[in-house]
A and B are shown apart, each in its own frame.
Chain A
Amino acid sequence: MRQSTFAIPVLLAVLGAAGLFAALLGDGGWDALAWLGLGLPALLGSWPLLRR
């Protein structure tokens, strides 16, 4: 899966979009979906910067 250029990016993009939309619908579980959808990109973007 890491070999494919777009497999993981598409998955992240869809999760992110679902999260952004879900939190508009309610609190609690809906918000948690947004935290997952935005948390993964934030994590994946941050850790290679922190690693030496």
Chain B
Amino acid sequence: MRSTTLRRWSFVHTWTSLICTLFLLLLALTGLPLIFHHEIEHLLGEAPQLRELPADSPRLSLQQLVEAAERHRPGEVVQYLGWEEDEPNGVVTIMAATAGTEPNSSHTFMLDARSGEAVAMPAANGGFMMLMLRLHVDLFAGLPGKLLLAFMGILFVVAIVSGVVLYAPFMRKLKFAEVRRDKSTRLRWLDLHNLIGIVTLTWALTVGVTGVISACADLLIEAWRGDTLAAMVEPYRDAPPLTQRAPADELLRIAGEAAPGMRPDFIAFPGTRFSSAHHYAVFMVGSTHLTSHLWTPVLIDARSLAVTAVGDRPWYMDALAMSQPLHFGDYGGRPMQILWALLDVLTIIVLGSGLYLWWVRRRAPRQALRDEVAA
């Protein structure tokens, strides 16, 4: 590589890394407990615990659950009802002052589908895990915070790519995984930085890119609302406001018939950002491993309960949906979680050693760079 080319790539690598390093350190540190959020919630006693009831206990209808929720939090409305695979007797319920209230002002709890009893989900509303989540997702700054972190993620990806380009000249005279231990601390850490950086490449790129996509979720959902959802509810554009809502009882049966072979993931109530002002939207997911991440909304007229549309999925909503497992590492059992945490710690070491290498090289940058490549 010519020395001007080398210097340019080195400049790109140095500055994209330096700008994003502090944010990436924060993301890597807060991400670590988030990998194990289920386990930590259980340890802290914050996981919802349903009462033991006979296995054949009858279940309440959906409308009875909605009414139980409204009794539990008078003056609020149900925004979403959701199902979790590891708690088949519970229904995750999200309520707020109005259907359109923004997510951070909502209240989340679980309803026992058999008794209608409300069970607290403290981790979903505050506390340590929520602190980690907010620091990881938006720095308590809403959309601007998310977009700032998305930009830092893009810088991180550029830093990774430029790092791979620089890997070649730095490794010209070295064997793979060769670490010069006895020359100087700086060379030892340079070799470690290069080695750990190159072996964690695929994982770091995957988590980086899917993180950027997730950070843009609000924009993608807005695009979906303006594009796909608007087209689906076009006939309702001039319809008068919804005054009488049909009971929710039959929603799952209706959605199941409209999207055979799929199972419900959540219901968005009329007026929320995942539905229109005139519809229940039942979000169905597929029954295979891969399609269980992909949502198909079934829009049901909230007055007549007729199916208005079964949604197509635009590619960017599929990308958003697939970004979730690939970012969280929650789809390959406990061993995958542990590896995710290990790779996260290794990324912290790459970030830290990069900062160190920049610091000690500042005094004689060009000379040192030549030495490193030639050594």
What residues on A are CB-neighbors of B240 within 8 Å? none
Q: Is B342 engaged at the interface, CB distance under 8 Å to the other chain?
A: yes
Residue contact B202 to A42, C-beta cutoff 8 Å: no
Question: What is the CA–CA distance of A15 and B326 in the complex, to the nearest angstrom?
Answer: 15
What residues on A are CB-neighbors of B172 within 8 Å? 5
Residue contact A17 to B202, C-beta cutoff 8 Å: yes
Residue contact B342 to A46, C-beta cutoff 8 Å: yes
**A25 touches which of B167, B200, B289 (Cβ 8 Å):** B289
Question: What is the CA–CA distance of A1 and B340 in the complex, to the nearest angstrom?
Answer: 28
- Mostly, the B contact residues are helix
Residue contact A46 to B326, C-beta cutoff 8 Å: no
Residue contact B195 to A48, C-beta cutoff 8 Å: yes
Question: How many chain-B residues does the 8 Å CB contact rule pick out?
Answer: 36
Residue contact B336 to A48, C-beta cutoff 8 Å: no
Residue contact A38 to B331, C-beta cutoff 8 Å: no
1/0 per residue, CB under 8 A from B, across A16-52: the answer is 1100100111110011001101111110111011000
Residue contact A16 to B203, C-beta cutoff 8 Å: yes
Residue contact A24 to B289, C-beta cutoff 8 Å: yes
Residue contact B326 to A31, C-beta cutoff 8 Å: no
Residue among B198, B289, B322 with most chain A CB within 10 A: B198
What residues on B are CB-neighbors of A38 within 8 Å? 203, 336, 339-340, 343
Q: Is B199 engaged at the interface, CB distance under 8 Å to the other chain?
A: yes
Q: Is B6 engaged at the interface, CB distance under 8 Å to the other chain?
A: no
What residues on A are CB-neighbors of B176 within 8 Å? 1-2, 4-5, 7-9
Q: A41 → chain B, closest Cβ, in Å? A: 4
| Given known A-B contacts A42-B342, A44-B195, A48-B177, A20 and B202 have beta carbons under 8 A apart | yes
Nearest CB in chain A to that of B164: its residue: A9
Q: Is B54 engaged at the interface, CB distance under 8 Å to the other chain?
A: no
| Given known A-B contacts A5-B167, A5-B168, A5-B172, A48 and B179 have beta carbons under 8 A apart | yes
Question: What is the CA–CA distance of A7 and B179 in the complex, to the nearest angstrom?
Answer: 18
Q: Is B45 engaged at the interface, CB distance under 8 Å to the other chain?
A: no
1/0 per residue, CB under 8 A from A, across B35-69: the answer is 00000000000000000000000000000000000
Q: Is B332 engaged at the interface, CB distance under 8 Å to the other chain?
A: yes
Q: Is B98 engaged at the interface, CB distance under 8 Å to the other chain?
A: no
What residues on A are CB-neighbors of B289 within 8 Å? 24-27, 30
Q: Is B171 engaged at the interface, CB distance under 8 Å to the other chain?
A: yes
Q: A22 → chain B, closest Cβ, in Å? A: 9
What residues on A are CB-neighbors of B216 within 8 Å? none
Residue contact B203 to A41, C-beta cutoff 8 Å: yes
What residues on A are CB-neighbors of B365 within 8 Å? none
**A45 touches which of B167, B196, B206 (Cβ 8 Å):** B196
22 residue pairs A–B, Cβ–Cβ below 8 Å: A1-B176, A2-B176, A5-B171, A9-B198, A12-B202, A13-B201, A16-B203, A17-B202, A24-B293, A24-B322, A24-B331, A27-B289, A34-B332, A34-B336, A35-B339, A38-B340, A41-B200, A42-B342, A45-B199, A45-B200, A45-B349, A48-B179
Q: Identify the B interface with A (CB < 8 A).
A: 167-168, 171-172, 175-179, 192, 195-196, 198-203, 206, 289-290, 293, 322, 325-326, 331-333, 335-336, 339-340, 342-343, 346, 349
The 6 closest A-B pairs by CB, nearest first: A16-B202, A23-B332, A41-B199, A2-B175, A38-B339, A45-B196
Given A45-B199, A49-B349, 13 extra CB contacts under 8 A? A2-B177, A3-B175, A5-B167, A5-B168, A12-B199, A12-B201, A25-B289, A25-B290, A35-B335, A38-B343, A39-B339, A41-B200, A44-B195
